[in-house]
Amino acid sequence: MTKPVSFLRGVPADAVLERLVEAVADGYAEAVRRYGSEVLQYGHFNGFKPLRTILAGIHDVDPERVVVGNGGLEVISLFLKSLPAGSTLLIEEATYDRVVLDAMRYGHRLIGVPLGAEGVDLDRLRQAASRYAPRAFYGIPFHQNPTGITYSADNRSAAERICRDNGMLCVWDICYQSLRYDGRPNDAISLDEKGPILINSFTKTLAPGTKCGYIVVPADLAADLVAVAANTRINPNLPTQAFIADFMASGDYQRNLETICSAYRPAMEAFNRSLADHFPGAFPTAVSGGFFSCLTLPSVAVENETAFVAAARSAGVILSPAWDAVAPDLRSEKRSRGSFIRLTFPALTPDQIRQGLSALSRVVQSFA
C-alpha cells in the first residue's frame, strides 16, 4: 500500500535535520563548556547577549532593541501580551493561525485585510487604519503563510508608510525571509529608531527542536517587552542561544541555510508544476520559497468539507481546512467561495508531491 501523502504540517525534511545531528550535538556541548555556568544560571532575561549582539549587527540596531526567546511563537506571544488589553490589530486575510488564536486569547480585536499577488491591499489597509485606529498591523512579507505570496518591495514600503502615518506599529514576521529556493535572495528590510518591528525564528532555518526566535522593537518599547518576558519565563533557554551564537559566528549557520535552500528547490519546483497542472488559477501565486501555499476549492462547499477530507484520506491524501488561519471577520465571506486548504511541501519528495496533488485533483473533481 502506498504511504499517504500529508500536506498538513510545515515541518522540515528529516533528511535536512539528520545532516545537522552531529553539528548540533557537538555545538551544544562546546557552548556549555565554553560559557559554563553562565548558560546554566539565571540571567540574560532578554536573551543571551552574544547572540543578541550578532542579531543586532545583522539588522543594524542597538542590541538593547533585540529580545531573544524560546521560539518565534513565544516572542509573538510576548509582544501580544505587552499590548494594552483589547487592542485592535490588523492582520492579513489569511495568516499564521497561531497568531490569530493567541491574539484572541489575549482579548485583542482582529480586522482582516485582503491580500493580492503583490502583497497587502493598500487601499483596504489605509481604510482599516483610518476607521479602526489599530495598535498594530501584523504581516508575513516573504513567502507568506499560508498563501506563499512575497510582497513586492514597493508594496511593503507603502504598508510601512501607512502604518507610520496612522500611528500604528508595523510588525513584519520574517521567519521565511532566508528560505528562498530559486537562487535569488530576498531584499532586506531597513529599520530606523521607530521600526518596523521584526520577528524571526530559527525553527525552519535551523531546527524546530532548538526553540529559538527573536524580536527587534523600537527602543521605547524594549523595556516593557523585556519586563513581560522576564515575568513570563524569567530567562530563555540559554544553552540553545549560546550554541546558535557560536553556530552563526563560525559561518556554519549560513552554510546550513544554503544547504536547506538547495535541498528544498526540487520539491518547490515539483509543487509549482503540479499545482499549475491540476489546479490552474486556484492558488494565489507560484511559490519561490517558504513552506506553504493554499487552495480555494469552489466545488467543495463548506458543508461538505468533512466528507471531502475523508474522501481525500481514502485516496491517500491527508489535509485539513485552514479556517483557523483566516481573519475572523472575513471567514463568512471566504467560506462562501468554497473550501480553503493550506498545503506544505518541503518535507515531501517530488514524487510524493506529484502523487498527492494528482490524487487530490481527482477527489476535488468528484465533488464538482
User: What top-level class would CATH report for the domain 20-253?
Assistant: alpha beta
| Chain region(s) in the chain for CATH 3.90.1150.10 | 5-17+257-366
CA dihedral sign, ordered 237, 239, 241, 247: negative
> Could you tell me if 198 and 174 are in contact, meaning their C-beta atoms sit under 8 angstroms apart?
yes
Q: Which fold has domain 5-17+257-366?
A: Aspartate Aminotransferase, domain 1 (3.90.1150)
| Chain region(s) in the chain for CATH 3.40.640.10 | 20-253
List C-alpha distances in Å: 143 to 147, 186, 242, 329, 330: 8, 10, 29, 24, 21
Residue carrying C-alpha cell 510601512: 160
Q: How far apart are CA 188 and CA 240, in angstroms?
A: 26
Which has the closest alpha carbon to 240: 69, 66, 45, 21?
Answer: 69
Q: Output the nine-digit C-alpha cell for 349.
A: 519528495
- Bridging pattern class, strands 292-297 and 339-344: antiparallel
pLDDT in tens, the chain (368 residues): 478 999 998 999 999 999 999 999 999 999 999 999 999 999 999 999 999 999 999 999 999 999 999 999 999 999 999 999 999 999 999 999 999 999 999 999 999 999 999 999 999 999 999 999 999 999 999 999 999 999 999 999 999 999 999 999 999 999 999 999 999 999 999 999 999 999 999 999 999 999 999 999 999 999 999 999 999 999 999 999 999 999 999 999 999 999 999 999 999 999 999 999 999 988 888 999 999 999 999 999 999 999 999 999 999 999 999 999 999 999 999 999 999 999 999 999 999 999 999 999 999 999 98
